[in-house]
Amino acid sequence: MFSERSIDRRPIVAYERGRDVRSFAMHAAARLGRLTTWKNDDGEGHGHWRRRKAITRSSWRPQTRVMSPLVRPIVETNGELPLVDPEELVLRDGEVGPIARAEQTDTDIDREAWYLRAILTANVYEVAIESPLERAPRLSDRIGAQIYLKREDMQPVFSFKLRGAFNRMKQLTPQELARGVITASAGNHAQGVALSGQKLGCKAIIAMPVTTPAIKVEAVRRLGGTVELVGENFDATSAYAKKRAKDEGLAYIPPFDDPHVIAGQGTVGVELLRQLPSTEIVFVPIGGGGLAAGIAAYIKAIRPEVKVIGVEPAGANAMMLSLARGSLVKLSKVDGFADGVAVREPGRHCFAICQAMIDGVITVKTDQIAAAIKDVFGDTRSILEPAGAVAVAGAKAYCTANKVTGNVVAITSGANMNFDRLRVISEIADQGGKEEATLVTIIPEKNGAFKKFVETVGDKSISEFKYRIQDANARVLYSIVVSNQSEVEETIRRMKAQGFETVDLSNDATTQFHLRHMTGGRGKVDNEVLYKVEIPERAGALGNFLDFISPKWSITMTHYRSDGGRVGQVLFGVQVPENEREDFEKCLDNCQYSYDCLSDNVAFRTLFGNH
């Protein structure tokens, strides 16, 4: 027979008195009902982890805990994942996506125990710093909540990624370190592995896509990593790295889906609870899910009342869709604007933890991410990369929608920004901050109509303006400076009262990236269709695309703007008869570049005469 031993019910104040963090967390976990120990009748101790109901903090009596060794979590692999479109589930601003939670088992409880201990004993501070937690005064005043930034962008490699990479590599044997490590990454994880290899005296091979910007390749080389440029996308690069690891006996260091990587990232949660004990909500960016899983595993064990909310780009929402379905999915396409979190499928270990512990996931649009970069710059004079600002964008949206006034923390996860991207981000930041609206208005081409249009705009400052006559009407594409959405709606109302049809294109990505930079052209081109194609940023990639479609189909227009990313978003107008549409898209599939048909885009139909 077994008899339950007593549970410590002292007030949880040891942290403030300076008790060692590991001791505090273990005792706190026990007092919150996570950890109980058992002893049989002959006095032999057996450590066991069980979920208990909340207990009262009343009298207590001393005890000695005996904990058994904890087994590293194992997650089953179930073959190919179903492909889904990011648009399968679209959330409103600040809305938290649903979670289909699995019934809890003893395996889940054991997993929670393993992660808590692994996080508390993670070895990261030989390479990482305890990043500062800073209040964002201007942003807080505007939103109404007390917003704090956990500055992981201030790490030696300007990203949190070195925590998990180093902790994973510290688990390797001397023999494994002597053989070396390999990983696949186009950015921050690559630098984390390179720095960890340098610190441990270990050869680090970093496989990177051939489209990786030169600034990131050079950063890895400066840290002592051996760079291998392989493949045009991450899937091809990852396959190369895993095969080479197997062939040469190298240790493969996963970017996120590994328990020791997750535990290393979880040390961010340890720090922020110590730095701000009154934290109410933590917003965490999600790509593969390693950072969110690690932070949730710690915070929910120690302070279960603190909310942990993940944030993903709307076009890279693999974790949100997986949680909504209750099982892992793979995205059919992914928006690469926030390339540090542009992941097609979450990690299996990461998903298991998030499904059990996270409070939900919200999504943010590209313009909201750009606006968050601008907000952080306003408070800190630091420039985040898009992925590094995702959590800030989520905190803004959630706090505004839910009228939050308490203490919230947003993880600023990285600042490895390519300078070339600043131009594009600056242009769209005002849209995300609702400081500028882009409209298109159709006016009759007759004397006095344009003057009446300008008068109807009224006292709103025009920041951009394009005018082109097409047939009997003219299309005017323009941007006005506004302070809120009601001013946009009032402008549209005034235009329609004058008989000028007007459409708000502020949230239309195609307009913001392409159409607002194009003017004129003949309207109503026969059989014209519009496609956006992601073409790798390397010599010969555009020619490769044209080989598949030319000369069979005629190109009617193109537009391309470099944003400093690994792929270029190229807009193509093509003449394709309806009966050849299927053949055309087969050619696009064979090219193996991601594409979207935008022929039904309202801005395209309006501006180019197909309205």
Burial of 565 (0-12, 13-18, 19+ CB in 10 A): buried
Look at phi and psi of residue 540 and say left if phi exceeds 0, alpha if psi is from -120 to 50, else beta.
left
Determine whether 552 is an active site residue: no
Q: Which residue has the tokens 């961010």?
A: 268
Q: Which tokens hold the place of 85? A: 């479109």
The Cβ of residue 602 has, within 10 Å, a number of other Cβ atoms equal to: 15
Where do runs of H (alpha helix) occur along 32-91?
Answer: none
Cβ-based neighbours of 276, under 8 Å, separated by 6 or more: 133, 148, 407, 409
Task: Quote the CA–CA distance of 105 and 110 in Å, as a whole number.
Answer: 9
From the candidates 161, 216, 300, 460, give the one annotated as an active-site residue.
Answer: 161
**Beta strands, E only, 301-387:** 307-313, 330-331, 360-364
Task: Quote the CA–CA distance of 533 and 588 in Å, as a whole number.
Answer: 9
Burial of 185 (0-12, 13-18, 19+ CB in 10 A): buried
Closest-CA residue to 342 (of 205, 508, 204, 209): 209
Determine whether 278 is an active site residue: no
Judge contact between 89 and 330, C-beta under 8 A: no
Whether the ω angle into residue 386 lies within 30 degrees of 0, i.e. cis, is no
Judge contact between 569 and 536, C-beta under 8 A: no
From the candidates 413, 479, 506, 594, give the one annotated as an active-site residue.
Answer: 413
Judge contact between 75 and 40, C-beta under 8 A: no
Closest-CA residue to 250 (of 200, 312, 204, 190): 204
Task: Quote the CA–CA distance of 169 and 255 in Å, as a whole number.
Answer: 12
Cα four-point dihedral sign 101, 83, 332, 233: positive
- Catalytic (active-site) positions: 161, 413
